[in-house]
Amino acid sequence: MRAILEAARERPGGETRVSVDARSFPEAVAETEAAGRVPVIAEVKPTSPTTEGVREDDPVELAREMVAGGATALSVLTEPEHFGGSAESLRRIREAVDVPVLRKDFIMHEAQLDVVESDLVLLIARFVGEGLPDLVEAARDRGFQPLVEVHTREELTAALAAGADIVGINNRDLGKLEVDLGTFEELAPEAPEDVLLVAESGVKTVDDATRMREAGADALLVGTAIMDGDVRRNTETLTQ
Ligand SMILES: O=C(O)c1ccccc1NCC(=O)[C@H](O)[C@H](O)COP(=O)(O)O
Protein backbone atom coordinates (compact mmCIF):
# COMPACT_ATOMS: atom_id res chain seq x y z
CA MET A 1 0.00 0.00 0.00
CA ARG A 2 2.91 2.32 0.73
CA ALA A 3 4.04 2.24 -2.92
CA ILE A 4 0.51 3.04 -4.11
CA LEU A 5 0.31 6.04 -1.80
CA GLU A 6 3.78 7.33 -2.62
CA ALA A 7 2.93 7.22 -6.31
CA ALA A 8 -0.43 8.90 -5.62
CA ARG A 9 1.17 11.78 -3.75
CA GLU A 10 3.53 12.43 -6.68
CA ARG A 11 0.92 12.37 -9.43
CA PRO A 12 0.29 15.84 -10.87
CA GLY A 13 -3.00 17.68 -10.81
CA GLY A 14 -4.88 19.12 -13.75
CA GLU A 15 -3.93 22.43 -15.29
CA THR A 16 -7.39 24.00 -15.34
CA ARG A 17 -10.19 23.68 -12.84
CA VAL A 18 -12.96 21.36 -14.05
CA SER A 19 -16.66 22.16 -13.87
CA VAL A 20 -18.80 19.03 -14.01
CA ASP A 21 -22.44 18.71 -15.06
CA ALA A 22 -22.92 15.52 -13.06
CA ARG A 23 -25.40 12.72 -13.72
CA SER A 24 -27.24 12.17 -10.44
CA PHE A 25 -26.20 8.99 -8.65
CA PRO A 26 -29.04 9.08 -6.06
CA GLU A 27 -31.57 9.37 -8.91
CA ALA A 28 -29.97 6.47 -10.78
CA VAL A 29 -30.14 4.35 -7.62
CA ALA A 30 -33.82 5.26 -7.09
CA GLU A 31 -34.66 4.35 -10.71
CA THR A 32 -32.98 0.95 -10.35
CA GLU A 33 -34.85 0.31 -7.09
CA ALA A 34 -38.13 1.31 -8.72
CA ALA A 35 -37.46 -1.21 -11.47
CA GLY A 36 -37.02 -3.91 -8.81
CA ARG A 37 -33.33 -4.47 -9.47
CA VAL A 38 -30.22 -4.26 -7.30
CA PRO A 39 -28.22 -1.03 -7.77
CA VAL A 40 -24.68 -2.05 -8.70
CA ILE A 41 -21.70 0.15 -9.47
CA ALA A 42 -19.71 -2.09 -11.82
CA GLU A 43 -15.99 -1.43 -11.74
CA VAL A 44 -13.71 -1.30 -14.77
CA LYS A 45 -10.63 -2.65 -12.99
CA PRO A 46 -8.04 -3.99 -15.44
CA THR A 47 -5.83 -5.33 -12.62
CA SER A 48 -5.05 -4.77 -8.94
CA PRO A 49 -2.49 -5.75 -6.32
CA THR A 50 -4.76 -8.67 -5.31
CA THR A 51 -5.68 -9.87 -8.82
CA GLU A 52 -3.67 -12.13 -11.10
CA GLY A 53 -3.01 -10.89 -14.64
CA VAL A 54 -4.32 -7.91 -16.54
CA ARG A 55 -7.57 -7.66 -18.48
CA GLU A 56 -6.51 -6.12 -21.80
CA ASP A 57 -9.97 -5.61 -23.37
CA ASP A 58 -10.96 -2.14 -24.52
CA PRO A 59 -12.33 -0.50 -21.34
CA VAL A 60 -15.10 1.16 -23.34
CA GLU A 61 -16.34 -2.24 -24.54
CA LEU A 62 -16.25 -3.58 -20.98
CA ALA A 63 -18.18 -0.52 -19.78
CA ARG A 64 -20.85 -0.92 -22.47
CA GLU A 65 -21.29 -4.58 -21.53
CA MET A 66 -21.68 -3.65 -17.86
CA VAL A 67 -24.39 -1.11 -18.70
CA ALA A 68 -26.11 -3.66 -20.96
CA GLY A 69 -26.02 -6.04 -17.99
CA GLY A 70 -27.93 -3.55 -15.85
CA ALA A 71 -25.24 -1.58 -14.00
CA THR A 72 -26.67 1.53 -12.34
CA ALA A 73 -23.31 3.30 -12.45
CA LEU A 74 -19.71 2.54 -13.36
CA SER A 75 -16.52 2.88 -11.37
CA VAL A 76 -13.41 3.46 -13.45
CA LEU A 77 -9.91 3.09 -12.06
CA THR A 78 -7.69 5.96 -13.14
CA GLU A 79 -4.67 4.81 -11.09
CA PRO A 80 -2.11 3.79 -13.74
CA GLU A 81 0.68 1.97 -11.91
CA HIS A 82 -1.07 -0.67 -9.81
CA PHE A 83 -4.58 -0.89 -11.31
CA GLY A 84 -3.98 -0.41 -15.05
CA GLY A 85 -6.28 2.60 -15.19
CA SER A 86 -6.07 5.97 -16.90
CA ALA A 87 -7.85 9.30 -17.06
CA GLU A 88 -8.23 8.72 -20.80
CA SER A 89 -10.16 5.47 -20.20
CA LEU A 90 -12.52 7.32 -17.90
CA ARG A 91 -13.00 10.16 -20.38
CA ARG A 92 -13.81 7.72 -23.21
CA ILE A 93 -16.12 5.62 -21.05
CA ARG A 94 -18.07 8.62 -19.77
CA GLU A 95 -18.58 9.74 -23.34
CA ALA A 96 -19.80 6.29 -24.39
CA VAL A 97 -22.37 5.59 -21.64
CA ASP A 98 -25.17 7.57 -20.02
CA VAL A 99 -24.97 6.24 -16.45
CA PRO A 100 -23.08 8.06 -13.65
CA VAL A 101 -19.35 7.33 -13.60
CA LEU A 102 -17.19 7.23 -10.46
CA ARG A 103 -13.52 8.14 -10.68
CA LYS A 104 -11.70 5.52 -8.60
CA ASP A 105 -8.27 6.73 -7.56
CA PHE A 106 -6.20 7.73 -4.57
CA ILE A 107 -6.77 11.47 -4.62
CA MET A 108 -4.49 13.20 -2.15
CA HIS A 109 -4.71 16.88 -3.04
CA GLU A 110 -7.20 19.31 -4.57
CA ALA A 111 -5.53 19.85 -7.95
CA GLN A 112 -5.82 16.10 -8.65
CA LEU A 113 -9.59 16.63 -8.86
CA ASP A 114 -8.93 18.59 -12.05
CA VAL A 115 -7.31 15.72 -13.97
CA VAL A 116 -10.57 14.48 -15.52
CA GLU A 117 -14.32 15.00 -15.24
CA SER A 118 -16.56 12.34 -13.69
CA ASP A 119 -19.95 12.29 -11.98
CA LEU A 120 -18.73 10.90 -8.68
CA VAL A 121 -15.26 11.09 -7.22
CA LEU A 122 -13.81 8.79 -4.57
CA LEU A 123 -12.24 10.32 -1.47
CA ILE A 124 -10.71 7.79 0.92
CA ALA A 125 -11.04 9.02 4.54
CA ARG A 126 -8.07 6.94 5.69
CA PHE A 127 -5.69 8.62 3.25
CA VAL A 128 -6.87 12.22 3.16
CA GLY A 129 -7.19 12.47 6.95
CA GLU A 130 -7.77 15.98 8.22
CA GLY A 131 -7.99 17.31 4.69
CA LEU A 132 -11.31 15.51 4.14
CA PRO A 133 -13.74 18.43 4.76
CA ASP A 134 -11.78 20.68 2.38
CA LEU A 135 -11.62 18.01 -0.31
CA VAL A 136 -15.36 17.27 -0.01
CA GLU A 137 -16.04 20.97 -0.46
CA ALA A 138 -13.54 21.32 -3.32
CA ALA A 139 -15.15 18.34 -5.09
CA ARG A 140 -18.67 19.76 -4.68
CA ASP A 141 -17.52 23.21 -5.85
CA ARG A 142 -16.49 21.57 -9.13
CA GLY A 143 -19.84 19.76 -9.48
CA PHE A 144 -18.67 16.28 -8.44
CA GLN A 145 -20.70 14.05 -6.10
CA PRO A 146 -18.09 12.92 -3.56
CA LEU A 147 -18.26 9.27 -2.48
CA VAL A 148 -16.37 9.15 0.82
CA GLU A 149 -14.90 5.74 1.58
CA VAL A 150 -14.54 4.49 5.17
CA HIS A 151 -13.48 1.27 6.84
CA THR A 152 -13.71 2.08 10.56
CA ARG A 153 -16.16 3.76 12.92
CA GLU A 154 -13.75 6.70 13.35
CA GLU A 155 -13.55 7.20 9.59
CA LEU A 156 -17.35 7.06 9.35
CA THR A 157 -17.60 9.76 12.02
CA ALA A 158 -15.07 11.88 10.10
CA ALA A 159 -16.94 11.36 6.82
CA LEU A 160 -20.25 12.47 8.35
CA ALA A 161 -18.60 15.46 10.04
CA ALA A 162 -17.22 16.44 6.62
CA GLY A 163 -20.78 16.48 5.26
CA ALA A 164 -20.62 13.29 3.19
CA ASP A 165 -24.03 12.15 1.96
CA ILE A 166 -22.76 9.25 -0.15
CA VAL A 167 -20.59 6.92 1.93
CA GLY A 168 -18.83 3.77 0.78
CA ILE A 169 -18.05 1.24 3.48
CA ASN A 170 -15.09 -0.71 2.19
CA ASN A 171 -15.03 -4.33 3.30
CA ARG A 172 -11.38 -4.42 2.26
CA ASP A 173 -8.91 -3.34 4.93
CA LEU A 174 -6.49 -1.27 2.87
CA GLY A 175 -3.75 -1.88 5.43
CA LYS A 176 -3.86 -5.68 5.37
CA LEU A 177 -5.75 -6.10 2.07
CA GLU A 178 -8.09 -8.57 3.79
CA VAL A 179 -11.79 -8.59 2.95
CA ASP A 180 -14.58 -9.16 5.48
CA LEU A 181 -18.22 -8.49 4.60
CA GLY A 182 -18.83 -8.16 8.35
CA THR A 183 -17.30 -4.66 8.13
CA PHE A 184 -20.33 -3.32 6.30
CA GLU A 185 -22.71 -5.13 8.66
CA GLU A 186 -20.96 -3.61 11.66
CA LEU A 187 -20.78 -0.01 10.43
CA ALA A 188 -23.97 0.43 8.39
CA PRO A 189 -26.28 0.78 11.44
CA GLU A 190 -24.13 3.73 12.60
CA ALA A 191 -24.96 5.81 9.51
CA PRO A 192 -27.98 8.15 9.46
CA GLU A 193 -30.96 7.07 7.31
CA ASP A 194 -30.51 9.87 4.79
CA VAL A 195 -26.96 8.86 3.88
CA LEU A 196 -26.69 6.76 0.73
CA LEU A 197 -24.64 3.71 1.65
CA VAL A 198 -22.49 1.77 -0.80
CA ALA A 199 -21.08 -1.64 0.15
CA GLU A 200 -17.62 -1.87 -1.43
CA SER A 201 -15.39 -4.88 -2.11
CA GLY A 202 -15.71 -8.61 -1.66
CA VAL A 203 -19.17 -9.08 -3.18
CA LYS A 204 -18.77 -12.21 -5.30
CA THR A 205 -22.12 -14.00 -5.31
CA VAL A 206 -25.85 -13.30 -5.25
CA ASP A 207 -25.79 -14.44 -1.61
CA ASP A 208 -23.13 -11.82 -0.83
CA ALA A 209 -25.23 -9.16 -2.59
CA THR A 210 -28.34 -10.19 -0.62
CA ARG A 211 -26.32 -10.11 2.60
CA MET A 212 -25.13 -6.55 1.94
CA ARG A 213 -28.62 -5.39 0.93
CA GLU A 214 -30.12 -6.89 4.08
CA ALA A 215 -27.48 -5.03 6.09
CA GLY A 216 -28.64 -1.73 4.57
CA ALA A 217 -26.64 -1.23 1.36
CA ASP A 218 -28.36 1.14 -1.06
CA ALA A 219 -25.87 0.09 -3.73
CA LEU A 220 -23.00 -2.37 -4.19
CA LEU A 221 -19.61 -1.61 -5.73
CA VAL A 222 -18.30 -4.72 -7.47
CA GLY A 223 -15.01 -5.09 -9.34
CA THR A 224 -13.32 -8.49 -9.40
CA ALA A 225 -16.45 -10.64 -9.57
CA ILE A 226 -17.69 -8.69 -12.60
CA MET A 227 -14.32 -8.41 -14.35
CA ASP A 228 -13.67 -12.16 -14.08
CA GLY A 229 -15.19 -13.65 -17.27
CA ASP A 230 -18.31 -12.44 -19.12
CA VAL A 231 -18.83 -8.96 -17.65
CA ARG A 232 -22.35 -8.59 -19.04
CA ARG A 233 -23.55 -11.90 -17.61
CA ASN A 234 -21.78 -11.27 -14.31
CA THR A 235 -23.46 -7.87 -14.01
CA GLU A 236 -26.87 -9.34 -14.91
CA THR A 237 -26.48 -11.98 -12.22
CA LEU A 238 -25.75 -9.47 -9.48
CA THR A 239 -28.32 -6.85 -10.49
CA GLN A 240 -31.35 -9.18 -10.62
O1 LIG B 1 -8.60 -4.40 -5.08
C2 LIG B 1 -7.45 -4.37 -4.61
O3 LIG B 1 -6.63 -5.30 -4.73
C4 LIG B 1 -6.96 -3.16 -3.86
C5 LIG B 1 -5.67 -3.16 -3.34
C6 LIG B 1 -5.20 -2.04 -2.69
C7 LIG B 1 -5.99 -0.93 -2.54
C8 LIG B 1 -7.28 -0.91 -3.05
C9 LIG B 1 -7.78 -2.02 -3.70
N10 LIG B 1 -9.03 -2.04 -4.23
C11 LIG B 1 -9.87 -0.88 -4.25
C12 LIG B 1 -11.29 -1.18 -4.16
O13 LIG B 1 -11.93 -0.50 -3.37
C14 LIG B 1 -11.94 -2.20 -5.03
O15 LIG B 1 -11.44 -2.08 -6.32
C16 LIG B 1 -13.45 -2.12 -5.14
O17 LIG B 1 -14.07 -1.90 -3.92
C18 LIG B 1 -13.98 -3.40 -5.75
O19 LIG B 1 -13.60 -4.51 -4.96
P20 LIG B 1 -13.77 -6.01 -5.47
O21 LIG B 1 -15.19 -6.18 -5.90
O22 LIG B 1 -13.44 -6.86 -4.29
O23 LIG B 1 -12.82 -6.17 -6.61
Give the residue whose CA is nearest to atom 19 of ligand 1.
201
* Pocket flag, ligand 1, residue 235 (CB < 6 Å): no
Give 177 Cα–ligand 1 centroid separation in angstroms: 9
pLDDT tens readout for residues 110-119: 999 999 999 9
Q: What's the ipTM?
A: 0.97
Instruction: Count other Cβ atoms within 10 Å, centred on residue 216.
Output: 16
- pTM score > 0.95 for this model? yes
Amino acid at 46: P
The answer to whether residue 51 scores a pLDDT higher than 90 is no
Q: What's the confidence (pLDDT) of residue 208?
A: 98
**Short-list 104, 98, 103, CA closest to 143:** 103
Are 133 and 164 in contact, with CB atoms under 8 Å apart? no
Question: Domain-by-domain residue ranges, the chain?
Answer: 1-11+25-239
Radius of gyration of the chain (CA): 16
Whole-angstrom distance, CA of residue 181 vs CA of residue 175: 16
pLDDT tens digits, one per residue of 70-108: 999 999 999 999 999 999 999 999 999 999 999 999 999
Task: Return the half-sphere exposure (C-beta side, CA atoms, 13 A cut-off) of residue 52.
Answer: 0
Q: Which CATH class is domain 1-11+25-239?
A: alpha beta
